[in-house]
Structures are given as structure tokens and as C-alpha cells.
Amino acid sequence: MTDTPVAGPALGAMLSDAVIMFHEAVAARRNLSAADHKALGIIERNGPMTASELAKRTGLTAGAITGLVDRLIAAGYVSRDHDSADRRRVILTTSGEQSQDVLDAFAALGESQSDFADRYTPQQAAAIVDWVTRISRELAEQTRRLNAH
């Protein structure tokens, strides 16, 4: 990666490549794909949920979610449990186990983000937060659109 400023579509591609490759590296430490790892993270951050809720949050199809959940269960990261309030409903629950090297990877990334975030004024930081929020929502929408066809 270069230190030369990049703009336009090349900037988006550079960010996308870096994010995907980081998550592939982290996921490999759990013997997962990046998509499986990101879905596991959604459950870890948001708590138990149904497979259909996970599909909605990821934008993946029901068929893709079934395979993904099966892989997470086989790897021991997720279980299917009956909802205590409605025994017909099946909830995905994480085991809560994370390897120390995965935790360390995110801690190091967080430290780096804090270090370079201090370079920006509050107004610049607000603009960055706005951009990341908007692009994240747009990416989720485009994912849903692509998976609907």
C-alpha cells in the first residue's frame, strides 16, 4: 500500500481491499472465512437472534445463511437453541469464546485508529463519521439489492 493520497473510486477500492484482507486474516485464526467471521461478529455484538434476523442484517439469502450457520455450528462458535418464550422459534447463540490472538488483533487496530484519529479536528472527525456511516448503510443496501436478484 502506498502513502500517496488516493481519491475517487480508487480510494473506495483501497479501503475495501484492506478491510477484506484484514478480516480474512483474522477469520483464518478462527478457521473461518471472512463472511463467516463477520456473521459471527454480528451475533456476538447484537446477542442471540434467529437465522432470518441474521440474514436480514447481512443481506444474505436464506440458503446462504443456512450454510453459514451450519459452518459456525460445526466449528463450535454457535448453537441453535429453542427460544424459552416460544419453543417453535430457534435462536442462534454464540459460545462466547474468542481466541486471544483475535482479541489482540482488534486491540492493536483500535489503538492505531485512536492514534490517527487524534490528527483531526472535531469537525473533520464528524465528517469522517458521517462518511463511514453513510457508506456502510449504502454497502448494506447494495448487498441486499445484489442478493435479491
Asked if residue 86 has pLDDT above 90, the reply is no
Specify the pTM. Answer: 0.74
**pLDDT tens digits along 101-122:** 777 888 888 888 887 888 999 9
Domains defined for the chain, CATH in brackets:
8-118 (1.10.10.10)
Angstrom distance (rounded) from CA 26 to CA 34: 8
Q: What letter represents residue 90's amino acid?
A: V
66 confidence band (pLDDT: 50, 70, 90): very high
DSSP code at position 91: E
What residues form DSSP beta bridges with 92?
A: 49, 80
Angstrom distance (rounded) from CA 139 to CA 132: 10
**pLDDT tens digits along 34-47:** 899 999 989 988 99
